[in-house]
Structure 1
Amino acid sequence: MYHYIEVKLLDNQNNSRKTEQHSTKGPEKKKIFLTINVVIRVLQSLFVFAVVVLLLGGALGLGIGMGYFAFLVEDTQPPTKEELQTEISDISEVSRMTYADGTNIAMIKSDLVRTRVDSEHISPLLKKAIISTEDEYFEEHKGVVPKAVIRALVSDATGIGGSSGGSTLTQQLVKQQILTDETTFKRKANEILLAYRIEKYFSKDEIVTTYLNVSPFGRNNKGENIAGVEEAAKGLFGKNANDLTLPQAAFIAGLPQSPIIYTPYSNTGALKDDENMAYGMKRKDFVLFSMYREKAITKEEYEAAKNYDLMQDFQPQQESNQNTQGYLYNAVLEQATNVVMDINIEKAGVKKETLDDLGLSQYKDQARKEIQNRGYTIQSTIDQTVYDTMQNAVATYGYMLDDGYGAGLVETGNVLMDNKTGRIIGFVAGRDFNVSQSNHALDTLRQVGSTIKPISVYGPAIDQGMVGSESRLANYPTSYRSGDELTNATNSGTNTFDTVRHSLEWSYNIPVYHLNEAMKAQMGDDNFAYHNYLSKMNYPANDGWAYESAPLGSIEATVLTQTNGFQTLANKGQYQKGYMIDKITDNSGKVIYEHKDAPVQVYSEATASIMNDMMRSVLDSKITTPFKNMINGLNPAFGNVDWVGKTGTTDAYKDAWLVVSTPTITLGSWTGYDNPTAMSPNSGDQNSAYLANLANAIYSVRPDLFGAGEKFTLSKDVIKSTVSSFTGEKTGTFTYNGGTYTAPGPNVESFYAKDGAPKSQYKFGYGGSDANYSAYWGRYATPKTPSSSTPPSSSEKKEEKKKEDDKKENSTPTSSGNSN
């Protein structure tokens, strides 16, 4: 029992401890629960506070951000739709030049080759490829993907995450065409603003089409830098952008991210090696996967395109036609540049003559860049068949000019011009472009020699009614006012009064000098010929036109200018400025420029017809040039064409000229060394032989150009005066110093453009001293007293004529020479 009581007590003690322990644990649990509850409530309060802070901070940040954004774009004037259209479409495109018939001459050299195409000419596969790869949300966003912008801004601000790549196609278009690549918040803000603006005004298809037209796509198989999908398709695969296969489209779509790395071609147009080619191939596969991921293509299409051997489609290396430059390329580009420059100057409201050299050069640089980058088509006036024939002719017959007198080639410049329009049909700029790049036809200035005489003296004097074709001019030994002797080519004078026609045939210097001095005095202007005639034909302004030596051709001009002067006479006295650019159109076919005739009547029609009649005598007489003999020898039918023309040489035979015309064309020729040194005394004949062969070569391919069957005729208003062959004036009797004189015959017909021949008088010609007239009258006629003033008998006339002819035959040169 005792034991039982002990056990019981022990149990009670244990129970008592448990109860005590239990009563102790209750308050502890309450404390724990209370603590947890407090913590939770604190956390809840902190969370609410944090949310409030975040909301307030976000609102404040948003307000600050919006304010900052507004600050960044406050200087940006939102462009109109038209302005945006111009800016995003303003791309550099390759321009080209063509012959008169539209056949390509060459693509104009530029840093970038580009051709714009419309949306319907771009493969849908290509559009899907570029969208899937570059902008997967393109069809959904309004120009900007906000989360991508935030990610990009954080990356730019912190430098964490590398390149953000947050730009949509629309933003990339803004970056390429309107803004720069600089990474500033201001540029990014403007980019966002403009992207939204573009999306507002343009459809998604318009945006992606423009992007594909402006983006760079590496190089083509000629090694040229290309832009736009059309040039990419042609340059890589030899097809148009709307004909691409899926793997081809995928490859091209992958190029804009890094065009030079992914392009299959090197800068020479050769395919890259396998290692470097792999970059572009991997990029192509990524594009295909992106298209599959975006469900733009099926799995089967993806697998087939990925496994396709694209290497077989790349174009083989080809030589760039941009490097094929020569006389023609440079000439057309230069002429087109001048045309566009004049257009821009006129648009600017500036007078060209007020610009200094710097101003002109700036306008010219602007015009050249415009031509190189605007995708223009420049249609020239050049006939391809004629031009090629002329180049072959100079290569074949140019040796005829060489004389061994100087070092190197005797150069030449030739221009073939249509008389009625001034159109330049063809030209020879030089013997060999590799030897000399100077354009001797259009640019080189050389003294014109006696070819200027019909243009600056005989033409104006006849036009003013001062002389007719048979008027007489003094040809006695003469000196300039300085006392320096003036001579003809091979003599000091013929010691007679020669007719205008005869003086032109022999290309005498002394008679034309007297006529020019008389014209200046009579018109009261030392520069009369330039002010009233030469300036109208765009001869260069030069004080030398007023010099005594001007009629001998001391002034310099180009072959083009001189050919244009003779075109004026051959075109009934009407000048049509020589031109090589017929039309310029932009890439849409809009005409930027089209040549329009602007005729200037320089000489009367009567004057021009008289000059052509006299210049026919120059060639027919064969005194200064064997051109007609040579033409007849080469082709008798060609020799029947009505040819007129004039020769010219300069001191020491440094230059030799011959300009000839038919009723339809004018062909000018100059020869000489680039470094002006003496040529052979036979250089005039050599030039004639060369020009005859050149003309015959042209005739063989385009006989229609030469107007066979047409003739130069005297115009209806030419006055045909019957004159004494002795005085060149009307026959009749007159008194002088108490003596009576009768102008002896025989009578001839003299052509006048104005007024007709005057009555005979003692001093009937221009130039000559009293002693010269006394000797002339005393030698060829006898003065009569009033009681015995009978005209000479026919036998006396014949005898005097025979003496005159004998004298001239013995005293005149027998070969061409200086100033002929």
Structure 2
Amino acid sequence: MKNLWNSIVNSFKSIKSWSDFANKANLTIEIIRRIILYSIAGLMILLSLAIGLGMGYVSALTNQVAVPTKNEMKTQLQDVNNSATLYFADGTKVESLQKDLEGKKISLSEMSPYLKKAIVSTEDSDFYRHKGVVPKSILRAIISDVTGIGAQTGGSTLTQQTVKMQMLSSETTWKRKAVEIFLAMRVDKYFSKDQILEDYLNAATFGTNNKGQNTQGVQAAAQGLFGKSASDLNLAESAFIAGLPQSPSVYTPYTKVVNENTNSQRGDFKDDISLGMKRKDIVLYRMYRDKKITEQQYNDAKSFDLKGDFLKPAKASSKEIKYGYIYNLLTEQARTILIKRLVKNDGLKYSDVVKDNSLYEKYYTQADTELHNKNYKIHSTIDKSLYVAMNQQAQQFKNNLGTTHSDSATDSATGKSIKVSEPVQNGSVLLDNKTGQVLAFVGGVNFKKSQNNHAFDTKRSPGSSIKPLITFAPAIENGLIGSQSMLADFKTKFKKYSPTDYGETIQNRFVSARETLEESYNIPSVNLYNYIRQHNVSSKSYMSKMGINLSDNEYNQLGITLGGTETGVTVLQQASAFSTFANKGVHVDPYVITDVIEPSGQTIYKHKGAKKRVFSKQTAYIIKNMLHGVVTKGTASALSYESNFNTKNLFGKTGTSNDYRDNWFIGSTQGMTLASWIGYDNFYGHNYNLASNSTDINQELWANMANALYKENKSTFDVNNTFSKPAGVKTYKVDKETGTYTGSIDYNGMTTKVNQHTANSLYYKGSPSSMSYSGFAIGGKSKNYKLFWDNYFGRDNGYAVVKQLGDNSKTASDLANENGSGRTSGFSNSTNGNDSSEVVTNSTSSSTSRTNSATDSTTSNGTSETGTGSSGSGRDTSSDSTSTGDTVTSNTTGDTLTSDTGTSETPSLAQ
């Protein structure tokens, strides 16, 4: 810098004349001029490049947008009753979302001239001069947005605002802004200014009215604020309404008051309405500035007593929704879809947003506003005819589900005592196995009294219905058992945990894996779960793939195999997991929304099915084969004659939690899975339980629903499609009593051949063990084997005599009859063509006497409000253990049935 200065000084010192000075000055000016010209040229090139890149970027953003026709734009612009529309699977309308906005469309000629002038002066003074957009305003807004310098001046014309309200979502992305500009210019090209202004005045929001309702359009605003038509508004009233769109919630004079007890709302005056009044004066000044009104009009309107002109607060009328459970379900799921989309567009992660309550609330409100005020289209998987048929049966049967209890409770909101009524609730789901589509569901027995969706949202103990998922299928998959493998059902104890069967009983014998599932015994299931854990088989890896996520602590509790969960599972989760068996071991994620289309017509969400291999097709087949016995001779045998369709390919599982808190039945065919749960909500701290015959009741409800669904659409069930046995399923002939190969043992110093009764055992991996005196049953102890063999060879020692460990006053015979044990397959229309359940008797004279007492039992140690289970059923011998007594429900239908004590095993799925 110093050298430059010295150079300049020396240059001037060298000037010897005015002519020399002039020449050097001219040269300097020329250099400066050229520098300026070159700089300007460079800036122009850079600006042109930036504009080119910007236009290219905008073109790229808008290139993917379908260009709407004039008629399409007209339809969207004039549709002021916008809100999301929900659809059944066939395109039939379910319902439009209840609008947050009260509105009525009127023509421009029906609006006060003052109102039209006030809106233009306030929102877009160049409205009648521009072509839909104002470039300098857009540039100013972009610079402000990018740099953060300057106030938010806004760059949207009335045309752009109309396009945004009627044709686009409220995303804050550059793409949406680019599309908005593109559509605004197109709208300005095809429609007159008065048409656009009319659409805006009918679509804009104007705050809360005197009933606490949000208003859309100037007609609703005029009626809701001043009780008059928009055509009769005076200047002051027009100016007040025109000032509202900038910030309706701030400037409106009313606030909404909601009564949660009556589910009603009303309006009320705000304590301070000064901001709205100041805004009105600003609008009047802008009208005066634009010479739309005279000075006298301006002063008169400012002094007008507007406060006395407002309507008195009033109560809003309520509206009834026809398909309430569908309405709430689709709204909730669509809202979540929009939230995830908004979060993604803002460059955030949904998993992070849900952890921040305030941030999530922001996106929740934004998405909810979108749905209630814009014309989204939500298409679902719900089949209308199936849904109606299923819910009709639930309504007709609801009075048979159990006692409706009436009692007093404390209202959490007011602290006052109120009368409450608690009926037995039902949650049911019908799934398409192959696609995962929810075809129909029952959310509850009375939507008006309880909007809680018991099919999707209520988590309850799954009871014994979880046994095949968490224990038996993993055991078969890993080659630890076959269908005829023996499990011990004797009095046992695992540290502080002592499980029992139904009614605190034990069967006091060895039972096969097949029979354990058929009759839902507890102790054998716990023994097997303990056994697979000892062999490092993780049930968690299978359950998580089927959409059921439990904690490590839950998996560490042996009672989990009986349904002892901490929070429980939903009906949808359990039905979806169960459908894995029908899908040959592949789990398909369940879903209820197929696609979401935004107001512009673009599909912003389309369901993409997700499939996961959970079990091999061989394991799935064996489980289906075993569970078929549940509906032919086990705990759900009543279904074989209650169903009006062929049940030869039906399989299922019952489940009951402690003290009859929850009752389940899940049944599947090749085509569908239908799950039904019944129980009390116990929302008010009560401790209501189901009746002892709740299994029977729930199965009758299931049968009624299944029959109605089958009558409506037979193809959904696909009942005649046989579950064919895949290659790799091995059949071994085993001794029926031990589950091993037939052979010889040493008994009292003598070698004796054991082959009186045989049965076929199905394996995927592994094979039966050789005949031995001990070790053939999982969970068996030395004294159990001695008791077995002594009885086998003729000693009357109490083997297979059911023992009661608790204080239950019922006899073992009563418990067995109550549970429906011993139903014969004679009532079933199933075929007994599969030799996997066939028993061959070599000597009928030596047939072993048995007492078949079915127990469908599970556990619950959750709170009385939820009835969810924890660590399993049984007798807790410690003070700090969380396990509780186990229960099983009745499976009788009032018919007298003979006990099946013959030599035939459970009929299997027809081949």
TM-score tier by shorter-chain length is: 0.5 to 0.7
What letter corresponds to residue 708 of structure 1 in structure 2? Answer: V
Given the superposition, is the C-alpha separation of residues 819 and 544 from structure 1 closer, same or farther in structure 2, using an over 3 Å criterion? farther
Given the superposition, is the C-alpha separation of residues 737 and 576 from structure 1 closer, same or farther in structure 2, using an over 3 Å criterion? farther
Distance 2:163 2:706 in 1: 53
Distance 2:337 2:584 in 1: 27
Q: 1:798 aligns with which of 815, 826, 844?
A: 844
1:719 corresponds to which residue?
Answer: 730
1:548 corresponds to which residue?
Answer: 558
Given the superposition, is the C-alpha separation of residues 171 and 441 from structure 1 closer, same or farther in structure 2, using an over 3 Å criterion? closer
Given the superposition, is the C-alpha separation of residues 205 and 725 from structure 1 closer, same or farther in structure 2, using an over 3 Å criterion? same
What letter corresponds to residue 492 of structure 2 in structure 1? Answer: T
* Structure holding more helix per residue: 1
1:100 corresponds to which residue?
Answer: 89
Given the superposition, is the C-alpha separation of residues 144 and 466 from structure 1 closer, same or farther in structure 2, using an over 3 Å criterion? closer
Q: 1:665 aligns with which of 665, 668, 672?
A: 672
Distance 1:606 1:479 in 2: 33
Kindly state the Cα deviation for residue 693 of structure 1 after the two structures are TM-superposed: 1.2
Distance 1:374 1:509 in 2: 54
The CA deviation string for residues 460-492 of structure 1, in whole angstroms up to 9 with x for no partner, is 11111111111110011122320x432101353
Aligned-residue Cα RMSD (Å) equals 5.0
Distance 2:492 2:82 in 1: 64
Kindly state the Cα deviation for residue 756 of structure 1 after the two structures are TM-superposed: 3.2
1:589 corresponds to which residue?
Answer: 601
Kindly state the Cα deviation for residue 778 of structure 1 after the two structures are TM-superposed: 3.4
1:352 aligns with 2:351: yes
Matched position secondary structure for 1:621: coil
1:208-219 equivalences under 5 Å are 208=193, 211-216=197-202
Does the 8 Å contact 1:217/1:228 carry over to 2? yes
Distance 1:598 1:418 in 2: 14
1:369-768 equivalences under 5 Å are 369-403=369-403, 408-482=422-496, 484-490=497-503, 492-523=505-536, 528-530=538-540, 532-542=541-551, 543-555=553-565, 556-631=568-643, 635=644, 638-640=645-647, 642-675=649-682, 676-733=687-744, 742-761=753-772, 762-768=774-780
Matched position secondary structure for 1:656: strand
What letter corresponds to residue 527 of structure 2 in structure 1? Answer: H
Matched position secondary structure for 2:632: helix
Given the superposition, is the C-alpha separation of residues 722 and 340 from structure 1 closer, same or farther in structure 2, using an over 3 Å criterion? farther
What letter corresponds to residue 798 of structure 1 in structure 2? Answer: T
What letter corresponds to residue 844 of structure 2 in structure 1? Answer: K
Matched position secondary structure for 2:382: coil
2:285 corresponds to which residue?
Answer: none
2:100 corresponds to which residue?
Answer: 111
Does the 8 Å contact 1:648/1:818 carry over to 2? no
Distance 1:698 1:547 in 2: 39
Matched position secondary structure for 2:440: strand
Kindly state the Cα deviation for residue 386 of structure 1 after the two structures are TM-superposed: 1.3
Distance 2:722 2:701 in 1: 25
Distance 1:217 1:353 in 2: 35
Does the 8 Å contact 1:564/1:575 carry over to 2? yes
The CA deviation string for residues 70-89 of structure 1, in whole angstroms up to 9 with x for no partner, is xxxxxxx9997888999x99
Distance 1:178 1:670 in 2: 46
Matched position secondary structure for 2:527: helix
1:818 corresponds to which residue?
Answer: 887
The CA deviation string for residues 40-76 of structure 1, in whole angstroms up to 9 with x for no partner, is xxxxxxxxxxxxxxxxxxxxxxxxxxxxxxxxxxxxx
Kindly state the Cα deviation for residue 519 of structure 1 after the two structures are TM-superposed: 0.4
Distance 2:649 2:238 in 1: 64
Kindly state the Cα deviation for residue 456 of structure 1 after the two structures are TM-superposed: 0.7
Does the 8 Å contact 1:720/1:749 carry over to 2? yes
1:778 aligns with 2:790: yes
Matched position secondary structure for 2:434: coil
Given the superposition, is the C-alpha separation of residues 719 and 211 from structure 1 closer, same or farther in structure 2, using an over 3 Å criterion? farther
Kindly state the Cα deviation for residue 102 of structure 1 after the two structures are TM-superposed: 1.4
Q: Give the paired residue count.
A: 608
Does the 8 Å contact 2:655/2:665 carry over to 1? yes
The CA deviation string for residues 384-427 of structure 1, in whole angstroms up to 9 with x for no partner, is 11112222222111112124678631111111111111100111
Does the 8 Å contact 2:636/2:699 carry over to 1? no
Distance 1:357 1:741 in 2: 72
Matched position secondary structure for 1:720: strand
Given the superposition, is the C-alpha separation of residues 212 and 322 from structure 1 closer, same or farther in structure 2, using an over 3 Å criterion? farther
Given the superposition, is the C-alpha separation of residues 630 and 206 from structure 1 closer, same or farther in structure 2, using an over 3 Å criterion? same
2:410 corresponds to which residue?
Answer: none
Matched position secondary structure for 1:478: coil
Kindly state the Cα deviation for residue 321 of structure 1 after the two structures are TM-superposed: 6.9
Q: 1:339 aligns with which of 337, 352, 362?
A: 337
Distance 1:707 1:440 in 2: 27
After the TM superposition, which of the residue ranges 130-139 and 423-432 deviates more from structure 2?
130-139
Matched position secondary structure for 1:340: helix
What letter corresponds to residue 481 of structure 1 in structure 2? Answer: K
1:130-209 equivalences under 5 Å are 172-173=158-159, 204-205=188-189, 208=193
Does the 8 Å contact 2:444/2:452 carry over to 1? yes
Matched position secondary structure for 1:611: helix
The CA deviation string for residues 297-351 of structure 1, in whole angstroms up to 9 with x for no partner, is xxxxxxxxxxxxxxxxxxxxx9997866721110111122233334445553526
Distance 1:739 1:213 in 2: 101
Kindly state the Cα deviation for residue 718 of structure 1 after the two structures are TM-superposed: 1.2
Kindly state the Cα deviation for residue 375 of structure 1 after the two structures are TM-superposed: 2.4
Matched position secondary structure for 2:427: strand
1:21 corresponds to which residue?
Answer: none
Distance 2:582 2:654 in 1: 16
1:808 aligns with 2:851: yes
1:26 corresponds to which residue?
Answer: none
The CA deviation string for residues 86-133 of structure 1, in whole angstroms up to 9 with x for no partner, is 9x99999521111111111111234237999xxxxx999999x99999
The CA deviation string for residues 158-217 of structure 1, in whole angstroms up to 9 with x for no partner, is xxxxxxxxxxx98545788999xxxxxxxxxxxxxx9xx999967743684665544445
Given the superposition, is the C-alpha separation of residues 349 and 102 from structure 1 closer, same or farther in structure 2, using an over 3 Å criterion? same
The CA deviation string for residues 271-312 of structure 1, in whole angstroms up to 9 with x for no partner, is xxxxxxxxxxxxxxxxxxxxxxxxxxxxxxxxxxxxxxxxxx
Does the 8 Å contact 2:433/2:673 carry over to 1? yes
After the TM superposition, which of the residue ranges 674-683 and 453-462 deviates more from structure 2?
674-683
What letter corresponds to residue 338 of structure 2 in structure 1? Answer: V
Distance 1:500 1:198 in 2: 68
Matched position secondary structure for 1:723: strand
Kindly state the Cα deviation for residue 363 of structure 1 after the two structures are TM-superposed: 4.6
Does the 8 Å contact 2:163/2:183 carry over to 1? no
